[in-house]
Amino acid sequence: MIKKIPAAKLAIGMYISDLNCSWIDHPFIANQFEVKDQAILDQILAIGMHDVYIDTGKGLDVIEAQTRDEAAHEIDKQIRGIAKAAQAPIIAVSVAAEAQRARKLQGEANRLVKDIISDIRLGQQIEMEKVEPLVENMVDSIFRQQDALLPLAQLKNHDQYTFQHSVSVCALMVAFSRGLNLSREVIKEIAIGALLHDVGKAKVPDNILNKPAKLTDAEFDKMKSHVVQSKIILQHTPGISQIALDVAAQHHERFDGTGYPNKLKADEISLYGQMGAIVDVYDAITSNRVYHKGMPPTEALKKLLEWSKFHFSQELVQNFIRTLGIYPSGSLVRLESGRLGVVLQQHADKIMQPLVKVFYNAGRQHYITPEEIDLAKPHCQDRIVSHESFEKWGIEQAKWLPA
């Protein structure tokens, strides 16, 4: 049985099933291992672990501990509460009308970030006259229809991850900022900070940056130095605002003070840094890496909600979930009818009833004629019963996103 226990109750002889934090926040080779000695215990506590999951079938038990199913039930209850606190609908253009522009924009943004990293390695400065127009276009796209650009954030290549991650974080931060009703000018500065938040990785050796395995402790420390490097680079970039600087310099800080580089706590972290931390982790844990399998967006949002007990602002995490929807656009879902479909568009006032394109019969395991179903329509008799994995069903995600 898998149980959730406070890290303080860990003991030698227990088997950790899940460290219960983002893989980018811990230095261990694996997420599952036996606690064999005091050194491992000390390391877990030293990096700020709070709650972990143990496998009582492989190690010692804690009798009174909460089971994984009980913990999941609590999170599901919170998710339903978030869904009820829906926002007023935002009038926008259709996904189809924005899709082509969004794809072109994503390609331009990926190329720009790649060029910026290359320029920094050559000792050149960031050219803000190239950054600002592109960011304006991304903000415009999100304001017209966020469900066109955001699903593209889920499509990444292993060898292009660093660049694509920066673009994804930028798009997600714009949508998040809009959901918080921040001003257009502030959103632009947040977007600039998000697009450039990882430029310090230009100072990290390629053999560490692109290592196809978990990093050693020394390599992990070198990787963490990218935050300070990003801050230094941006401080020497004319035209960078404090808002943009906060996003880049604080996106690895954690609400409980366990982050880096400055171990800031709660309100010591700016709003923009807190937002950046949430979005950075979300995009990282939903992305496939050589040594890390990304989780479905709905599952990732539930983990963020669970981790917000310590690592993030609970209020901001809830707002982020409302922004993306319980089943974010681009997600694969199973309907009560047994059909599988990709989520195309959110309804801000009914975030558990999005527009879905169904194309697969799960029971008979074959493709069907694609059909768009608006689950929010009064006459619709179907509903989402679970989120699914594209990989599990052998379905190519990119094929089913709007072209």
Confidence bin at 22 (pLDDT 50/70/90)? confident
Confidence bin at 90 (pLDDT 50/70/90)? low
Confidence bin at 86 (pLDDT 50/70/90)? low
Q: What is the mean pLDDT of the chain?
A: 93
The candidate with the shortest Cα–Cα distance to 137, out of 152, 125, 149, is: 149
pLDDT at 91: 61
Would you call 96 helix, strand, or coil by DSSP?
A: helix
pLDDT of 44 higher than 60: yes
Which whole number is the average pLDDT over 259-278?
97
pLDDT of 397 higher than 80: yes
Confidence bin at 211 (pLDDT 50/70/90)? confident
Which whole number is the average pLDDT over 157-174?
92
Q: Percentage of the chain surpassing pLDDT 70?
A: 99
Are 319 and 367 in contact by the 8 Å Cβ rule? The answer is no
pLDDT at 370: 97
Confidence bin at 89 (pLDDT 50/70/90)? low
Among 159-168, 294-303, 355-364, the range scoring the smallest mean pLDDT is: 159-168
pLDDT at 394: 95
Cα(62)–Cα(138) distance, integer angstroms? 50
How do residues 305-361 score in pLDDT, each as one tens digit?
Answer: 999 999 999 999 999 999 999 999 999 999 999 999 999 999 988 999 999 999 999
pLDDT at 361: 97
Which secondary structure element, helix H or strand E, spans residue 384, and what is its range? strand 384-388
pLDDT at 157: 82
Which whole number is the average pLDDT over 153-173?
91
> For the chain, which residues make up each domain, given as ranges?
2-64, 95-324, 332-400
pLDDT at 43: 86
Which whole number is the average pLDDT over 79-97?
77
Which whole number is the average pLDDT over 274-284?
97
pLDDT at 88: 56
pLDDT of 290 higher than 80: no
pLDDT at 87: 63
Which secondary structure element, helix H or strand E, spans residue 4, and what is its range? strand 2-6
Q: Give per-residue burial for 121-160: e unless 16+ CB within 10 Å, then b.
A: eeeeebebeebeebbebbbebbbbbbbbbbbbbbebeeee
pLDDT of 42 higher than 90: no
Q: What angle do CA 103, 180, 246 make, to 5 degrees?
A: 80
pLDDT of 216 higher than 80: yes
Cα(145)–Cα(151) distance, integer angstroms? 11
pLDDT of 23 higher than 80: no
Whether domain 95-324 has CATH 1.10.520.20: the reply is: no
Are 258 and 268 in contact by the 8 Å Cβ rule? The answer is no
What is this structure's pTM? 0.91
pLDDT of 5 higher than 90: yes
Query: Looking at per-residue confidence, does 87 or 336 come out higher?
Result: 336
**Residue 256, both tokens:** 């409980």
Confidence bin at 28 (pLDDT 50/70/90)? confident
User: What residue spans of 9-94 are helical by DSSP H?
Assistant: 38-46, 68-84
The candidate with the shortest Cα–Cα distance to 252, out of 236, 231, 232, is: 231
Which whole number is the average pLDDT over 66-88?
85
How do residues 191-209 score in pLDDT, each as one tens digit?
Answer: 999 999 999 999 999 889 8
Q: Percentage of the chain surpassing pLDDT 90?
A: 79
Q: Which residue type is seen at 229?
A: Q
pLDDT of 399 higher than 60: yes
